[in-house]
Amino acid sequence: MYFPVDKRGSRLSVGLRNLDLASWFELDEKRIPELRIKEDLLQKNESVLAESRGVEDASYELLTLALENLKDFHGDSFDVREKEVIDKERKQSVQINHPLLTLSALLQEDFCVMNRVDESWFLTSAVLFSPSRWRLLDKVGKNLSGIHEPVPGYETQIAAATHKAFERITEEQPLWRANWTLLDDSTLFQPTPARARAVIEDAGNEVYFRVERQTLRKLPDSKAVIFTIRTYVEPLNIVVEKVDGALDTLRESLLSTDEHHEEYKGWKYIKPAVLDFIDSKS
């Protein structure tokens, strides 16, 4: 279980680490139900796909590298053929067609394509089934600063470091990081800000610890950077049971979070409820 909580609550950090390509994608017991959620969202015509013209090569290059990765490291789960992938666990085939939608039908991750234009990195294409209260159509076509404009402190604390990280990433060494938040809704697909419930009676079961595991990989031909997002959601009770020291770390982080970040994260009612929960466990 990932627990990327910094005791310095309002401090932002890029926090990138080297990634082993064997771990580019993570498959677990929630894979089939989460893929069904994706299928349902597509059938409902939700806005999960956005594409810019002229950058399609990066998406197809991503598909090629991803399928090679599935062959090399996940052969027990997939049989990759010329025009289809046999999903052994689901006992069905997925046709290799639209690159981003093909990958979304196979994997739990979301995929974002970042291209360098005029000294900046722009989100040019993406498929997003697990937004954490932001809309894909509000972000596509924007550069890193535009994407993170609502984040308090982004420009002053980590904008330069984030840009430098994108500039320095190499084709040989992909990277990864993780971030977290607390929400009162376990739904993966949350594209719009929700009004937090004013009354949370049982924070251990009504508040959810949501983690995004993000990877960055530079493509050798197009030079685009692929940004993947894998989202994990667990009730707070489960997290504090599994992670040693979670209560103390979470308390310090919440107490160190300023009002601007509280408002941005929607923690007006969640924060006091979680602090009361932590006190009851201490």
Q: What is the mean pLDDT of residues 150-160?
A: 93
Of 164, 268, 257, residue with least CA distance to 207: 268
CA dist., res. 8 & res. 257, Å (int):
7
Q: What is the DSSP string of 137-150?
A: HHHTT-BHHHHTTT
Q: Is the pLDDT of residue 281 over 90?
A: no
The stretch 139-151 carries a mean pLDDT of 95
- Residue 181 pLDDT grade (very low, low, confident, very high; cuts 50, 70, 90): very high
**How far apart are alpha carbons 233 and 185 in whole angstroms?**
9
- In this model, does residue 192 exceed pLDDT 90? no
- Model pLDDT, residue 12: 86
What is the number of H-type helices and E-type strands within the chain? 11, 10
Task: Give me the pLDDT at residue 66, please.
Answer: 98
Q: In the numeric block, which tokens belong to residue 166?
A: 């994108």
Question: Across all residues in the chain, what is the average pLDDT?
Answer: 94
User: What H or E segment, with its residue span, contains residue 255?
Assistant: helix 246-255
Asked if residue 189 has pLDDT above 70, the reply is yes
CB atoms within 10 A of CB 190: 17
Q: What is the mean pLDDT of residues 191-198?
A: 74
- pLDDT 10s digits, 91-124: 999 999 999 999 999 999 999 999 999 999 999 9
3-state secondary structure of 172: coil
Say whether 225 sits in a helix, a strand or coil: strand
Higher per-residue pLDDT: 79 or 11 = 79
Q: Binning pLDDT at 50, 70 and 90, where does residue 2 land?
A: very high
Q: What is the pTM of this model?
A: 0.95
* Residues 18-41 pLDDT 10s: 999 999 999 999 999 999 999 999
- The CA distance from 268 to 253, in Å, is 15
Q: For the residues 229-246, what does the mean pLDDT come to?
A: 97
What's residue 195's pLDDT?
65
Q: Where are the domains of the chain?
A: 17-178+212-233
Structure tokens at 157: 């604390």
